[in-house]
């Protein structure tokens, strides 16, 4: 499982380090002998992300000055031949699978990005705004009853809505079958979301409050009241004999590489006979390690201004 990281993301380095340690230390403690594997794995991943977020926020608030860090997170858990993928934010998991018909390798997405430009995420942020409006109105009534004149910003006014609500199935058609969907109250449903047309005033320029690019994260405590959540999107994928590797990387890579370009770049490194084994390491391991290093460095050369973290997980070879 070679890993390469280039650069540092301002405001996220601490959160990323804590999340990386906490997620994988907590998962084994909540998995034991189970009957319903899928249900247990899903609950385990949800609890793990919740626990990691809570622990980080406690640690962040105890610092002077308090940390304002946040981090995306992507976790892949293998149970026999089934992958369970949980992610927050805009880091991604990509599966390299060989297509026998086309005789080419394909880059298949196993995760979903979370940012305010995504319809479901924007609707969730809008729900948070509506709750803020309701709370603001409740606080305003005692002041109005006392006979004081109060100016309420338009963004806090409650508007009556009589629009038609429709339902849409949010199951994905990619190999990563979606297992969870969050409602406005934090509960989970199976792929059903409300559709509304009003734009949220908590989101502009594709960012939460015009600042935060992602709508789900570990940390970012100051944005939690705005709908930013640590509930991961969870999907599953059945492995096949044609699967080669999984690429895990943050948005710094995908700002300058498409998934297909990244997969083909890694494949070219794996076929590079000039890469030889070092220090007794198998040649295959050396090539995977070189692929991580070269891909991260190439992203920086292409002008990625964000941090670039790359991990490649070999499957069965």
Q: How far is CA 317 from CA 42, 123, 244, 247, 282, in A?
A: 28, 43, 7, 15, 12
pLDDT surpasses 70 at 312: yes
pLDDT surpasses 50 at 170: no
pLDDT (0 to 100) of residue 34: 57
Among residues 118, 119, 124, the alpha carbon closest in space to that of 185 is found at 124
**Tally of domains in the chain:** 1
pLDDT surpasses 90 at 50: yes
> Mean pLDDT across the stretch 210-231?
92
pLDDT (0 to 100) of residue 205: 78
> Is residue 217 exposed (0-12), middle (13-18) or buried (19+ Cβ within 10 Å)?
buried
pLDDT (0 to 100) of residue 96: 98
Burial 275-294 (b: 16+ CB within 10 A, else e): beeeeeeeeeebbbbbbbbb
> Mean pLDDT across the stretch 256-277?
94
Higher pLDDT among residues 167 and 214, named by residue: 214
CA distance 98 to 102: 9
pLDDT (0 to 100) of residue 13: 56
pLDDT-derived band at 18 (thresholds 50, 70, 90) equals low
Average pLDDT, the chain: 76
> Mean pLDDT across the stretch 52-72?
91
Residue 192 lies in a domain: yes
Residue 193 lies in a domain: yes
Tell me the pTM: 0.72
Q: Which of 174-183, 208-217, 229-238 has the lowest mean pLDDT?
A: 174-183
User: Which tokens sit at 289?
Assistant: 């390690």
Among residues 90, 89, 121, 112, the alpha carbon closest in space to that of 196 is found at 121
> Mean pLDDT across the stretch 107-117?
94
Residue 246 lies in a domain: no
pLDDT (0 to 100) of residue 137: 64
pLDDT (0 to 100) of residue 148: 32
List beta partners, residue 192.
Answer: 169
> Mean pLDDT across the stretch 226-239?
94
> Mean pLDDT across the stretch 29-46?
76
pLDDT (0 to 100) of residue 151: 32
Residue 284 lies in a domain: no
Domain range for residue 153? 119-213
pLDDT (0 to 100) of residue 200: 53
pLDDT-derived band at 277 (thresholds 50, 70, 90) equals confident
Q: Which of 204-208, 276-280, 292-296 has the lowest mean pLDDT?
A: 276-280
Higher pLDDT among residues 142 and 310, named by residue: 310
CA distance 27 to 298: 33
pLDDT surpasses 90 at 82: yes
List beta partners, residue 104.
Answer: 99
Three-class HEC string of the chain? CCEEEECCCCCCHHHHHHHHHHHHHHHHHHCCCCCCHHHHHHHHHHHHHHHHHHHHHHHHHCCCCCCCCEECEEEEEEECCEEEEEEECCCEEEEEEEECCCCEEEEEECCCCCCCCCHHHHHHHHHHHHHHHHHHHHHHHHHHHCCCCCCCCHHHCCCCCCCCCCEEECCCCCCCEECCEECCCCCEECCEEECCCCCCCCEECCEECCCECCCECEECHHHHHHCCECCCEEEEEECCCCEEEEEEECHHHHCCCCHHHHHHHHHHHHCCCCCCCCCCCCHHHHHHHHHHHHHHHHHHHCCCCCCEEEEEEECCC
Q: How far is CA 55 from CA 43, 122, 271, in A?
A: 18, 27, 43
> Is residue 223 exposed (0-12), middle (13-18) or buried (19+ Cβ within 10 Å)?
buried
Residue 159 lies in a domain: yes
Residue 252 lies in a domain: no
């Amino acid at each position: 499982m070679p890993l390469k990281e280039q650069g540092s993301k301002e405001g996220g380095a601490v959160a990323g380090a804590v999340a990386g340690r906490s997620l994988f230390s907590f998962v084994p403690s909540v998995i034991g002998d189970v009957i319903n594997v899928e249900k247990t794995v899903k609950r385990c991943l949800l609890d793990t992300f919740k626990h990691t977020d809570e622990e980080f926020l406690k640690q962040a608030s105890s610092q002077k000055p308090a940390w304002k860090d946040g981090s995306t997170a992507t976790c892949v858990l293998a149970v026999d031949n089934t992958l369970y993928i949980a992610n927050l934010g805009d880091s991604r998991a990509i599966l390299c699978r060989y297509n026998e018909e086309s005789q080419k390798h394909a880059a298949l997405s196993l995760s979903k990005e979370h940012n305010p430009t995504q319809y479901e995420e924007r609707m969730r942020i809008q729900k948070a705004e509506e709750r803020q409006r309701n709370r603001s109105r409740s606080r305003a009534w005692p002041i109005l009853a006392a006979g004081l004149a109060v100016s309420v910003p338009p963004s806090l006014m409650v508007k009556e809505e009589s629009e038609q609500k429709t339902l849409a199935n949010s199951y994905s058609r990619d190999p990563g079958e979606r297992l969870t969907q969050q409602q406005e109250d934090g509960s989970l449903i199976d792929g059903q979301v409300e559709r509304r047309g009003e734009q949220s005033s908590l989101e502009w320029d594709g960012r939460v409050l015009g600042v935060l690019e992602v709508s789900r994260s570990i940390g970012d405590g100051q944005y939690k009241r705005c709908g930013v959540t640590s509930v991961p999107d969870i999907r599953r994928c059945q492995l096949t004999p044609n699967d080669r590797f999984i690429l895990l990387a943050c948005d710094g890579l995908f700002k300058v590489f498409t998934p297909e370009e990244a997969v083909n770049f890694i494949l070219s490194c794996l076929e590079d006979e000039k890469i030889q084994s070092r220090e007794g390491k198998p040649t295959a391991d050396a090539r995977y390690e070189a692929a991580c290093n070269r891909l991260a460095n190439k992203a920086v050369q292409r002008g990625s201004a964000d941090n670039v973290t790359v991990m490649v997980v070999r499957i069965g070879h």
